[in-house]
Amino acid sequence: MPTDALTGLVDRSAFRTRLETALAEWKPDTSGPAVLMVDLDRFKAVNDSLGHPAGDALLRIAAKRLRAAVRGTDLAARLGGDEFAVLLTAPVSPDAAAMVAARLVDLLARPYLVQGQAASVGASVGLAFAEPDCTTADALIGRADMAMYQAKGDGRGRVGFFSAALQQRADLRRQTEQELRAALPLGQLELFYQPQYDLNVGQLSGFEALLRWRHPLRGLVPPDDFIPIAEEIRLISSLGEWVLRTACAEAARWPGAMTVAVNVAAQQFESGRLVGIVEAALEAAGLPGPRLELEITESSLLNDPGGIVTTQLTALKAMGVAISLDDFGTGYSSLSQLRSFPFDRVKIDRSFVNDHAVVRAITAMGTSMGIRTTAEGVETAAQLENVRREGCHEVQGYLLGRPLPASAIPETIARLVGGTDLLKEDT
Amino acid sequence: MSTSADLVRLVYVSRNLVPPAEAEAAVQAILGASRRRNPAMGVTGALLFSEDCFAQSLEGPLPAVEALFEHIQMDARHDQVVLLEAGPISRRDFGDWSMAFAGHCSDAALCFEALVATPSESSSRVLDVLRGAVGRAKRVLA
């Protein structure tokens, strides 16, 4: 049987062959066979810090632990890299299989001594059983894999169990991914705009552009349901480019000098093309730079080797574009981040709208650093009064206006210029 | 015993899973196995046993210590193995002992929680206790 040269376990092809045999011999009235997919957590860190020979030594030890933890009739395999699999031959009860899986998580997470140095990794394990609707090696491996990714997603170092619900979620997810890729070409994306008010002058000052997906069957999909997916499948940069172009074009048609704020994802900085894209969008729309504001989150700055993000932000700022730090308070919220770039604005995350102390602290910090602050998520008159008293410069929230479709904006501006009663100070 | 340049020492603590009623038999079994196996491997060391933890120092050639540690890892009589120290040494502390038994310890500072809370200090604390206990045994036997 073909074996893996490093560990002496069988390799992927031999594992598939043995699994096919086990499935062919399976009588559906017995429990099993089952497949455990085992993936080491943080293995790359061992390779990076102790070197590949130490990593290989760890894999050899892990393989021994794996073999020691299963019955003689079971089959342990190394599928490649730090990925292992176990075939639990029938009969094996669900309880027994779960116990083996839990034991693997425990054993593989114990410390390793490699080349005289201590190393540690964890293991995420996925478990799936042969079922009448899952009788091929690929299908069963696929299910165990899905369960393993579930375990990883739930925080690693644990066992994930395949279930019909897990399959449904994975199917929906795959479908959403495919449809999302087609959403832009099919014209299903549109921008909504939420008003932003300047508290000092008591006037509408601009709008934040918010991406919406009008799905033909599901209706308007909330951003939280598709933006994270777009980021994961690395679609966010092309969506972001469309948002920039569209927002600039639509804002150029608004009466007056209203600003438009556009969210920029961390990935959009990676190609180094953002400055050119913004420049082109402004030029095509005929929108002056100072009417555009880009909102970035702290995560964009967290990983900025070589200062590629700050370099691009500096170039954008030189074009007159304002740069704001979004969702402040939810991430690291560190002073060093606020100092890493001369931000024009900090947006206080909506979750702090009722927290006087936090609003006061961020506003005071912003004011002393010459950075304006915007309170987000203002929904009640009391919250408005609070953030105004604490010195916020701008507000945004349902109290002052929900996000509106582009077609409604010119009329909204006409109606609101001159102020809204909500912003009149009580006298 | 050799004091060659590749000599290493490893100190670990782990959570003792042996029920108190079976503790005595378990310790005897562990010591018996160690004394049978360790001389051929060139491994010496000392074992400490408390209500909730094992603490052990192993010293010998690197490959032997690695293999023995891996074997110990898989033992179902303990879990949560925490390596306190692993590194080269110039001479053995327990050169006369295939596995010295430093006894049952009831010192609160040597409970599992306390030891793993500060691994950098625990290694020397465990070694001190092991050396002290083994030193006393030597004097008694002398």
Name chain B contacts of A118, Cβ cutoff 8 Å. 83, 86
Q: Nearest chain A Cα to B9, which residue? A: A116
Q: Are residues A288 and A202 in the same domain?
A: yes
> Tokens for A353?
């709208």
CA distance B127 to chain A (A): 18
Report the C-alpha gap between B44 and B131 in whole angstroms: 13
Beta-sheet strand order (sheet of B53-61): B78-88, B7-16, B53-61, B44-50, B100-105
pLDDT of residue A303: 75
Cα–Cα–Cα angle for A371, A373, A378, rounded to 5 degrees: 175
Residue B40 counted as domain residue: yes
Q: Are residues A251 and A152 in the same domain?
A: no
Report the C-alpha gap between A287 and A249 in whole angstroms: 8
Name chain B contacts of A110, Cβ cutoff 8 Å. 73, 79, 81
Of A162, A193, A214, the residue at which a domain comes to its end is A162
Report the C-alpha gap between A132 and A121 in whole angstroms: 36
Give the CATH number for residue A36.
3.30.70.270
Residue A313 counted as domain residue: yes
Residue B75 counted as domain residue: yes
Q: Are residues A283 and A362 in the same domain?
A: yes
Q: Are B86 and A118 an interchain contact pair (Cβ–Cβ within 8 Å)?
A: yes
Q: Are residues A286 and A404 in the same domain?
A: yes
Q: Are residues A144 and A236 in the same domain?
A: no
Name chain A contacts of B13, Cβ cutoff 8 Å. none
Give the CATH number for residue B73.
3.30.70.100
Say what the ipTM of the complex is: 0.81
Q: What is the extent of the structural domain holding A37?
A: 12-162
Task: Select the residue of B12, B62, B70 nearest A61 (Cβ to Cβ).
Answer: B70
pLDDT of residue B3: 47
Residue A174 counted as domain residue: no
Q: Are residues A48 and A131 in the same domain?
A: yes
pLDDT of residue A425: 56
Name chain B contacts of A114, Cβ cutoff 8 Å. 66
Q: Are B87 and A116 an interchain contact pair (Cβ–Cβ within 8 Å)?
A: yes
Q: What is the extent of the structural domain holding B70?
A: 7-141
Mean pLDDT by 10 residues, chain B (142 residues): 70 90 90 92 91 90 92 88 89 88 73 79 83 74 55
* Domains held by chain B: number: 1
Of A162, A197, A212, the residue at which a domain comes to its end is A162
B96 three-state secondary structure: coil
Question: What type of residue sits at position A368?
Answer: S
* Domains held by chain A: number: 2
On whether the CB atoms of residues A103 and A70 are closer than 8 A, the answer is no
Q: Are residues A149 and A189 in the same domain?
A: no
Name chain A contacts of B12, Cβ cutoff 8 Å. 111
Report the C-alpha gap between A318 and A32 in whole angstroms: 65
Q: Beta B53-61 vs B44-50: how paired, if at all?
A: antiparallel
Q: Are A116 and B88 an interchain contact pair (Cβ–Cβ within 8 Å)?
A: yes
Residue A296 counted as domain residue: yes
SS3 letters across chain A: CCECCCCCCECHHHHHHHHHHHHHHCCCCCCCCEEEEEEEECHHHHHHHHCHHHHHHHHHHHHHHHHHHCCCCCEEEEEECCEEEEEECCCCCHHHHHHHHHHHHHHHHCCEEECCEEECCEEEEEEEECECCECCHHHHHHHHHHHHHHHHHCCCCCEEECCHHHHHHHHHHHHHHHHHHHHCCCCCEEEEEEEEEECCCCEEEEEEEEEEEEECCCEEECHHHCHHHHHHCCCHHHHHHHHHHHHHHHHHCCCCCCEEEEEECHHHHCCCCHHHHHHHHHHHHCCCHHHEEEEEEHHHHHCCHHHHHHHHHHHHHHCCCEEEEEEECCCCCCHHHHHCCCCCEEEECHHHCCCHHHHHHHHHHHHHCCCEEEECCCCCHHHHHHHHHCCCCEECCCCCCCCEEHHHHHHHHHHHCCCCHHHCCCC
Of A162, A195, A219, the residue at which a domain comes to its end is A162
Q: Are residues A235 and A155 in the same domain?
A: no
Name chain A contacts of B83, Cβ cutoff 8 Å. 111, 113, 118
Report the C-alpha gap between B69 and A53 in whole angstroms: 19
Residues of chain A whose beta carbon is less than 8 angstroms from a beta carbon of chain B are 61, 64-65, 68, 106-107, 110-118
> Tokens for B123?
């290694």
Q: Are B66 and A118 an interchain contact pair (Cβ–Cβ within 8 Å)?
A: no
Q: Are A107 and B73 an interchain contact pair (Cβ–Cβ within 8 Å)?
A: yes
Q: Are residues A397 and A272 in the same domain?
A: yes
Residue A175 counted as domain residue: no
B77 three-state secondary structure: coil
> Tokens for A368?
């002393």
Report the C-alpha gap between A98 and A254 in whole angstroms: 62
Q: What pLDDT tens digit does each residue of chain A (427 aa) get?
A: 788 999 999 999 999 999 999 999 998 888 889 999 999 999 999 999 999 999 999 999 999 999 998 999 999 999 999 999 999 998 999 999 999 999 999 999 999 999 888 899 999 999 999 999 999 999 999 999 999 999 999 999 999 999 999 999 989 899 999 999 999 999 999 999 999 999 988 899 999 999 999 999 999 998 999 999 999 999 999 999 999 999 999 999 998 889 999 999 999 999 999 999 999 999 999 999 999 999 999 888 887 878 899 999 999 999 999 999 998 888 777 777 788 889 999 999 999 999 989 999 999 989 889 999 999 999 999 999 999 999 999 999 999 999 999 999 999 998 887 666 666 654 3
Residue A177 counted as domain residue: no
Give the CATH number for residue A192.
3.20.20.450
Report the C-alpha gap between A298 and B97 in whole angstroms: 58
Residue B2 counted as domain residue: no
B44 three-state secondary structure: strand
Peptide bond into A33 cis (omega under 30): yes
On whether the CB atoms of residues B105 and B50 are closer than 8 A, the answer is yes
Q: Are residues A143 and A242 in the same domain?
A: no
Q: Are A64 and B70 an interchain contact pair (Cβ–Cβ within 8 Å)?
A: yes
Task: Select the residue of B62, B65, B81 nearest A111 (Cβ to Cβ).
Answer: B81
Q: Are residues A239 and A145 in the same domain?
A: no
Beta-sheet strand order (sheet of A34-41): A75-80, A83-88, A34-41, A122-129, A159-161
